[in-house]
Amino acid sequence: MERVLARGNRRRRDASCPAPDTMDAVSDALPDHLQVADRMEAGRAARKVAPRSSHADWDAGAPHRSPVDLVEEQNATRLPWLVPVRHGRMAVSPFTFYRGAARVMASDLSATPDCGLTVQVGGDAHLSNFGTYASPERRLVFDANDFDETLPGPWEWDVKRLAASVAIAARHIGADDAAVAAATKGTVTTYRLAMREFSAVGNLDLFHRHMDIDDIRTAVESQASAAARKQFDKFEAKARSHDNLQALRKLTVEVDGKFRIKSTPPVLLPLREAPIEADVDSLHEAAVLGFSKYLDTLQDDRRALVERYTPVDVGVKVVGVGSVGTRCLIMLLEGRDRGDPLFLQIKEADPSVLEEFLGPSRYPNHGQRVVEGQRITQAVSDVFLGWTDDMILQRHHFYVRQLRDWKGSFEVDSADVRLLSNYAALCGWTLARGHARSGDAVAISAYLGTGDQSDTFDRAVTAFCLRYAERNAEYFDEFTAAISDGRLRAEFGV
């Protein structure tokens, strides 16, 4: 402080340079800044709250809520004509069921240990919720890409959700027990080592850390087979082809010289044809007003960009597995001419499935909850991120993002266990980076252990995930039985 004041005294004194006593007062008013040693001690002390080995603990035989009940309760707020599509997509395999069962696992995780260190969790961190997209600088980057369930919460929940998805996916592609365990443990180990890496860097360095396609290519070229490298090249080319012009060709038809959203029900149809609980005029008014409110959530430079585009048409588009049945819209906008389209996805944001266990979000609009959580966690975020509501009924919240801009995702069904393991490691590193940005990397790393043999947590979480893969298979059987006996209606192949 004395050195700071000495420098200040050498400057010309004016209103922008406070007097020494004023600066002391400001310093005294600031919260205490914990030193690295204090944060490390806090992490080690957290082992008393939840020993690292305790993460293997889970009473799989304890009473639990039926997965069918939990899914059905969510259906109550979803579009009835799309609920059978949701059931059909979840019923394809234990892995697709897992993708749609974030609430089911949140219920199970609520009974597991956590050490009390909080981060901005994704809430649905599975393999298919990571992927590539274009950065504002037109670089192909890799990151988590789904934040519908994001909320401040225990970092362990995200790790277990991701690692369990690895175990379930590895079983799905036919890996033997040893390979399933190795892939699962490797994911957790990568998370731990990455957190150690992030705990040792400065805040600005951490903020700018990200993974782009060149980083992935380097890893692939150094470790993978020629076949895997060829598969990676196809993946990159496919991701780069997913742009607005490709979306225009795939999602629209030309009517009287104008592009309109295609009608291929139930997965894609113009808003004017959708059997939604309002008349066409009200839907149109809600879309126009909602778009105006969305513009108000953008930074001025990004708003100026979007305002160069004119909305042309709005449609309903089914996406993914877990989101099926929510009000997911797409908006086609036109820029300088017909060859300059922009597609925005306007996706309904319900309360996070974590809120019934961790408490409500501090944001009044769940679209804002998703956007702010994404911005906190991602290294590079979509410039079009914003939020809105339905404006008329104000019962539904939405967030907005670009629909397709070099989007690429991992295809579990076509992978072998080695490729799956390598991809899972990328996800583990990325998850740790997001947690380090929003939480205390020093404390979490100290909790995990910084020694070369500190794999207690890795082994414990692996044991949990292998048991949870078995439980997920039981849930899947219970879910598909409910379809077979007519309790749940399912529509397959869409």
* Least confident segment among 322-336, 390-404, 476-490: 390-404
Report the residue count for the chain. 494
Helices (H), 144-252: 155-172, 177-199, 203-208, 213-223, 226-241, 244-251
Quick one: pLDDT at residue 230? 76
Q: How confident is the model at residue 134 (pLDDT cuts 50, 70, 90)?
A: confident
- Cα–Cα distance for residue pair 303/301, rounded to 1 Å: 5
Q: How confident is the model at residue 257 (pLDDT cuts 50, 70, 90)?
A: confident
Question: Which residue in this structure is represented by tokens 């205390």?
Answer: 440
Tell me: pLDDT of 13 over 50: no
Contact present, 119 and 130 (Cβ < 8 Å): no
Tell me: pLDDT of 408 over 90: no
Query: Residue 291's closest CA among 318, 329, 265, 263?
Result: 329
Which residues share a beta bridge with 348?
398
* Least confident segment among 19-33, 266-280, 353-367, 439-453: 19-33
Average pLDDT over residues 412-440: 93
Tell me: pLDDT of 239 over 50: yes
**Domain locations along the chain:** 1-30, 37-240+414-484, 244-402
Residues 6+ apart with CB under 8 A from 442: 36, 39, 40, 43, 199
For the stretch 143-188, pLDDT in tens is 999 999 999 999 999 999 999 999 999 999 999 999 999 999 999 9
Residues 6+ apart with CB under 8 A from 367: 349, 386, 387, 388, 389, 397, 398, 399, 400
Tell me: pLDDT of 8 over 90: no
Report the b/e string of 95-110 with b at 16+ CB within 10 A: bbbbbbbbbbbbbbbe
Average pLDDT over residues 344-359: 95
- Cα–Cα distance for residue pair 239/409, rounded to 1 Å: 8
pTM of the model: 0.90
Higher pLDDT, 346 or 21: 346
154: which 2 tokens?
Answer: 């225990």
Higher pLDDT, 101 or 224: 101
* Least confident segment among 237-246, 256-265, 412-421: 237-246
Contact present, 198 and 443 (Cβ < 8 Å): no
- Cα–Cα distance for residue pair 403/228, rounded to 1 Å: 28
Contact present, 424 and 161 (Cβ < 8 Å): no
Average pLDDT over residues 370-380: 95
Omega into 266 within 30° of 0, i.e. cis? yes
Residues 6+ apart with CB under 8 A from 347: 148, 319, 323, 326, 327, 328, 329, 398, 399, 400, 401
Quick one: pLDDT at residue 396? 87
Tell me: pLDDT of 278 over 70: no
